[in-house]
């Protein structure tokens, strides 16, 4: 059995994460290692549910919940999970929390739950979760793992909310369902359709690259 599982036995991301305070762990996920605009992880929910701010926000918060829960349990069991079956174990921990989040959302906000549809259980397949479990939570203590999960989740929520605000504003002229663009605004329907998702994220990435490039040039000029 060991040989059969050998392909995934060596760590996908080698080395332990450098030491940092809990606050630094939280902040890194929001800024320098933002899952969406920097690492490009978790692309599917990022584009599929960001046509409305309410959906984007709900997806971000649900993912944060799963990230914190999975970080806690992966870190808690990190000395007990055999190396050969660790990916499967992480996936099972994540799937348990996703089921919890799915049922809680369906019980409290049935409208949003229906709007997200299959994308709620699809949080399991968000590479961000497995990526952080493997690269971070499995190698550090519980406080840091939870802090990293929370930071990454918040960074994810922030990007999703920004993206969905942009798309809802341009595509429907509303924010959270309230009209803000005035009656004369002609909705740019393209933005709420699938191609608009790619386009909006492309714009976001281009502006991030532009700002980053300017900052680098300013530093060099000084």
Partner 1 sequence: MSNLAWIFVSTLIVNNFTLVMFLGLCSFFGVTAKVETAWRLGLANTIVLLLTAVCAWFLNAYVLSRAPFLRTVAFIVVIASGVQITEMAVKKYFPVLFRQLGIYLPLITTNCAILGLALFQTSRHYNLLEAIVFAFGAGFGLTLALSLMASIRERLELADVPAVARRMGLVLIVASCLSLAFMGFAGMGSAE
Residue 4 — φ and ψ, nearest 5°?
-65, -30
Which of 183, 219 has the CB closer to partner 1?
Answer: 219
Instruction: Identify which of 130, 140, 96 has the alpha carbon closest to the alpha carbon of residue 8.
Output: 130
Residue from 118, 182, 186, 221 that binds partner 1 (CB under 8 A)?
118
* Distance set, CA 30 to CA 21, 39, 50, 97, 153 (Å): 15, 11, 18, 22, 8
Instruction: Identify which of 210, 211, 206, 196 has the alpha carbon closest to the alpha carbon of residue 166.
Output: 196
Number of residues that bind partner 1 (CB under 8 A): 47
Residue from 96, 161, 162, 174 that binds partner 1 (CB under 8 A)?
96
To partner 1, the closest distance from the beta carbon of 23 in angstroms equals 29
Residue from 11, 143, 180, 210 that binds partner 1 (CB under 8 A)?
210
To partner 1, the closest distance from the beta carbon of 15 in angstroms equals 16
From first CA to last CA, the distance across the chain in angstroms is 59
Residue from 76, 127, 135, 181 that binds partner 1 (CB under 8 A)?
127
CA distance 133 to 11: 12
Residue 201 binds partner 1, judged by CB under 8 A: yes
- Is residue 96 within a helix (H) or strand (E), and if so which, with residue range? helix 86-108
Binding site for partner 1 (CB under 8 A): 4-5, 7-8, 12, 40-41, 43-44, 47-48, 87-88, 91-92, 95-96, 98-99, 102-103, 117-118, 121-122, 124-127, 129-130, 190, 193-199, 201-203, 205-206, 209-210, 213
């Amino acid at each position: 059995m060991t040989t059969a599982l050998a392909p995934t036995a060596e760590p996908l991301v080698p080395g332990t994460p450098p030491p940092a305070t809990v606050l630094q762990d939280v902040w890194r996920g929001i800024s320098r290692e933002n899952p969406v605009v920097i690492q490009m992880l978790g692309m599917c929910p990022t584009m599929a549910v960001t046509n409305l701010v309410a959906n984007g926000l709900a997806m971000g918060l649900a993912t944060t919940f799963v990230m914190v829960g999975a970080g806690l349990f992966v870190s808690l069991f990190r000395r007990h999970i055999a190396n050969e079956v660790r990916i499967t174990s992480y996936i099972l921990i994540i799937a348990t929390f996703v089921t919890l989040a799915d049922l809680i959302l369906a019980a409290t906000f049935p409208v949003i739950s229906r709007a997200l549809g299959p994308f709620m259980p699809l949080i399991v397949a968000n590479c961000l979760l497995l990526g952080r479990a493997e690269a971070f939570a499995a190698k550090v203590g519980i406080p840091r793992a939870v802090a990293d999960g929370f930071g990454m989740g918040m960074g994810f929520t922030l990007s999703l909310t920004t993206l969905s605000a942009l798309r809802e504003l341009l595509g429907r002229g509303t924010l959270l369902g309230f009209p803000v663009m005035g009656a004369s605004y002609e909705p740019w329907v393209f933005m709420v359709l699938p191609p608009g998702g790619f386009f909006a994220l492309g714009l976001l990435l281009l502006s991030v690259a532009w700002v980053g490039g300017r900052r680098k040039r300013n530093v060099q000029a000084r």
